[in-house]
Amino acid sequence: MTSEAVRDLMLYGMLMVSAAGFYAMFYALGRMWGRPSVVAFSYVFALLQAVGALGMILPPYLDPFWRYLIGFSSLVYLFVPQGMWWVVTTFHEREHAH
């Protein structure tokens, strides 16, 4: 693998991970503040996360195992902020009900 390929993989990986973090952060803030516009803005970062994943799995640099793992994890993470919001709010609703 060339140094350019390693650089590209690292940059796309950084984009994927940082965009996923911003996606989760803005999604949670939008839900907390009751601001649908902030939730909608979070989806920009979900798209950037997918772009980062595609940048790593489309070139032929990685073995199929890693390409599937990156693609699967990126796809699953698109639903993590919503799932965690449900878990946290449900937990706290039950906690306050007792």
53: Cβ contacts below 8 Å, ≥ 6 apart:
12, 16, 70, 71, 73, 74
pLDDT for the residue 66 = 96
- Residue 36 CA to residue 39 CA, distance in Å, equals 5
Under the banding of pLDDT at 50, 70 and 90, the label for residue 76 is very high
Please, which pLDDT band fits residue 1 given cuts at 50, 70 and 90?
confident
Per the document, the length of the chain is: 98
Q: Given the structure tokens 């990685």, which residue do they identify?
A: 62
pTM for the structure as a whole: 0.88
* Dist. CA 69–CA 55, nearest whole Å: 14
Over the stretch 24-71, which tens digit does the pLDDT of each residue have? Answer: 999 999 999 999 999 999 999 999 999 999 999 999 999 999 999 999
